[in-house]
Structure formats: structure tokens, C-alpha cells
Amino acid sequence: MLQARVLPACCAYELMKLGHEVTVLEASGRHGGHVFTIRDGLSDGLYADGGAELFTKPGYERYWEYTREFNLPVLPYPCRHDMLRHVNDKFFTDDQLRDPQILKSFGLNDKEVKHMSQPGHTWWDLKYLYMQPYLDKFKDEYQPFGIGYDHLDTTPIAEIYKKEGASPAALRHLGGEKSSALQELWGAAILKKRGIKAIPTDVYRLKGGNQGLPDAFAKRLGARIKLNCPIRSIRNEKDHVAVTYRQFGEDKEIKADFLANCIPLPVFRKIPVTPAFSPEKQYVIDNVQYDTYAHFIFQASSKFWIDDGFKTINMQFGHPDIYEIWQMAEEVDTHRVVLLATGPGGVSPERALAGFRAAYPGKKDTIEQALVKDWTRDPFAPNCERLRHYPMGELKKFWPLIMEPAGRIHFAGSYADNLNWGQEAATRSANRVAKEIDMA
């Protein structure tokens, strides 16, 4: 039995292939959880991914295997190419942010300027200048402890930057005054082992929207998925697990050998579970923190930024109501375009559009429609990824307990992996849980 959120169908699909009977209880009226492709309100066949925007190569190896298995067409996604970034109240291209004179004007020291001016480096690669000497000691990407760095869990990563000679300007950009140095270095070491940049520039998406993958799983699972069936309570017995769920106003119970929980922990913690989890496991469930935000979808009648002299609309803003914007669904044959933007929850699409118009460095736009998917208001999938920054001294309380089963309840989702990168972490953890249950 699977309780569904964030690619749980992946776990069910893998268990089904291993010969297990599975039932997926999906709390909402649609499958896919935080993976959501939006078409309603858009014209001319346009669409936008309201969640799970992209994937990388390398980094999403299992995900790419599924795209081949299900014959899902993959498109390059130039949403991070030729980007304009708002730094120190001005917009700069990536090429400008590799210009030694501009970098010196920010207050970076000679070592930092030399590092950042190298071909292929982006504004987000600065931290690796100071992290690099520490990363090779991490031999097992699932084990941050016992390599001589345990004391760094109570040291802020900002102290490492200072120790290694970071300039005041670099420290302002890097931050990290309250983040565990051990956790930050471990995360960077995982990326290095997998050959992934801090913020990869070359990324990809599924043609027609990233919901194509959960749709492919759901098609193969068929009636094993029950929609609109939120879990009400769980009994985690020694020889089985019993779940009470709600279906059309009626409480029903189902019993199974195991429960693969894919619910985000802030939602899961509201569900009564008996007997109670151990204090250590309950601490994890109660204290894991997630990122969350809104996606704004703007439909425009033309590529107005071209008339304003910009190569792309890929921009990062220094505005409180809108963080960044880019184009998607470029392959749709229409003069119209759809733009995808992110910003804080609770902001209306009209307010986000006003923020865009205030921050946009061009003359005018041709936006004719503004929509929002505000994940902070979603009752079943309000969260995106687990925050990557544990408070100092907390890592040992979470790892590896965060991904370990409790009795007959197993845990999957983007939070339950060593690197919480959206669909990658969800898919990896789903495969891990399927193997755990099969071997139990």
C-alpha cells in the first residue's frame, strides 16, 4: 500500500514489477503531487509546469531511464541560458559576471576574481573556491560522519569561508552564518561525486510538461490508484499496517504488509499514528523544514523582450514579489508565449505582474493573462524541497534517521534522500523504498 505524494506512483510501479500487490491512496483528485503541468487558462495549446520545472544530466540518472522506458520526449530547456541577474541593484549578463573589472567593482579579492572569471563559471560557483579543499574526504555520499569533520556540524559555513580568505563582499553574497558547515560541505561533495554543478546551466524538461512521468506511472498502475482518498489515521502493528482513509464522506480501512509514506512531513505529522514513533523519529517528523513558493504563469501576445534588445527573458530580480522569470513551451506553434515566474506564497498574480513590470529593465510588455499556482495554499502538497541548510548541531538528529523505516512504515519523497533535488530525490527514494519492502 502506498500513500501518494510526489512521484509515489514510481514506488508503486517498482513494487508492482517485483510482483507485489499495491494500492495507492492519493489524497487529492489528481495524481502527481507537486509535479503539475498547467493548461487551464492558457491559449493556443500553451502549457506551464507549475511544479517540478526541470531535470539535469548528470544528476537524474534513474529519471532518464524512465524517460527511455516510457518513450517520453525530452527537450533542452534554455531557461538558464543568457540570463540577466540582478546584483547590487543592477542587471548583469553571465559574461559580465565573469569580467574581472566588474568582479573587482563588487569588492571581490584577486583570488575570487581569478576563480569567477574562468570560462563556464557562474555567479553560484563562488562557494566552491573555499569548499574545494574539504570535499575529497567524503568517500561515501551517504555518510557525512566519522571522517574528521564531525565538529563542523556546530560551526557555521561562513567561518570556513572566512578561514579560507573570503572577502567581505564574498561573505555578503555567500551568507551561511547559521548553516552547519558539515551539512553544506557534505552536500557540495555529493554534487562533486555526481558531476553536477551547484546550479547547472544545461537543463531539460519533458515535451508537453513534466507531469508526463507521473501520468506514465499512473497509466500502468490503473485502478490501483485511488483518488480523493486522504488518510485519516494509521496503526503501525507488528504484523501489518492498518490505514483509515476518507472516500466520498465515508471512512474506510485497508490493511497491508507495509505502508510507503510519500506525504510531505508537515502534512504527515497531522495524521494520528499508533503506536507512537520513537522520540528520535518523531523529532525528525516534527522538525524537518521545507522550501515553498508560488509559480506565476504569464501569457503574452509576443516576445516583447526582443524588441527591447534582450536575447532572452531569463531574468533574476531583486524584487520582493517576483524572484525570477523565463519562457517555456517554446515548441508550441503560436505567436503567443508563456512565461513562468516564481515568487513568495500569498502574492496574487496581479501583484506579481506589477512586480515584474516594476523590475523588468525593458520598455514595455505584451502580457495578456496572469495566473498563479500557490503551493503554500495546497492542502496536500504545500511544500517543495526540504531545506538544504540544517541548523548547526542538528544534522546527527536527522541523518540517516530521516530515511529509515519505522516498523512497517517506510519513507519516500524528495526529503528522504541524501540530496533533496526534487524529482531526482523523489525517484531515488521511491526506488530505495521499493527495494527495502521487497527485501523485508
For 211-254, write each residue's pLDDT tens digit.
Answer: 999 999 999 999 999 999 999 999 999 999 999 999 999 999 99
**Pair 137, 238 in one domain:** no
For 409-423, write each residue's pLDDT tens digit.
Answer: 999 998 999 988 888
Overall domain count for the chain: 3
**Rounded mean pLDDT of the chain?**
94
In-domain check, residue 47: no
**Pair 361, 299 in one domain:** yes
In-domain check, residue 244: yes
**Pair 274, 312 in one domain:** no
Q: Is the CB of residue 295 less than 8 Å from the CB of residue 377?
A: no
In-domain check, residue 104: yes
Query: Which residue range forms the structural domain that includes residue 220?
Result: 2-35+211-290+385-439
**Bridge pairing between strands 203-206 and 55-56:** antiparallel
Mean pLDDT of the region 28-39: 92
**Pair 274, 261 in one domain:** yes
pLDDT at 3: 43
In-domain check, residue 237: yes
For 295-352, write each residue's pLDDT tens digit.
Answer: 999 999 999 999 999 999 999 999 999 999 999 999 999 999 999 999 999 999 999 9
Mean pLDDT of the region 390-405: 92
* pLDDT of 1 over the 80 cut: no
Non-local CB neighbours of 84 within 8 Å, separated by 6+ positions: 91, 92, 93, 310, 314, 315, 316, 361
**Pair 347, 414 in one domain:** no
* pLDDT of 376 over the 50 cut: yes
- In order of 29, 228, 229, 351, the CA distances from 225 in angstroms are 11, 10, 10, 38
**Pair 340, 399 in one domain:** no
- What is the reported pTM? 0.94
**Pair 435, 395 in one domain:** yes
CA distance 232 to 244: 5
pLDDT at 88: 87
* pLDDT of 440 over the 80 cut: yes
For 341-356, write each residue's pLDDT tens digit.
Answer: 999 999 999 999 999 9
**Pair 188, 92 in one domain:** yes
Mean pLDDT of the region 67-88: 96
**Pair 329, 276 in one domain:** no
* pLDDT of 289 over the 90 cut: no
In-domain check, residue 66: no
Mean pLDDT of the region 345-372: 97
Share of the chain above pLDDT 90, in %: 87
- What cell numbers appear for 83 in the block? 540570463
In-domain check, residue 418: yes
Q: Which residue has the higher pLDDT, 361 or 289?
A: 361
* Last residue within a domain, chosen from 357, 377, 397: 377
In-domain check, residue 50: no
The CATH number of residue 248's host domain is: 3.50.50.60
In-domain check, residue 16: yes
* Last residue within a domain, chosen from 164, 194, 224: 194
CA distance 117 to 315: 21
**Pair 354, 418 in one domain:** no
**Where residue 101 falls among pLDDT bands split at 50, 70, 90?**
very high
Q: Which residue has the higher pLDDT, 204 or 293?
A: 204
- What cell numbers appear for 213 in the block? 512521468
For 116-131, write each residue's pLDDT tens digit.
Answer: 999 988 888 999 999 9
**Pair 365, 400 in one domain:** no
**Pair 174, 161 in one domain:** yes
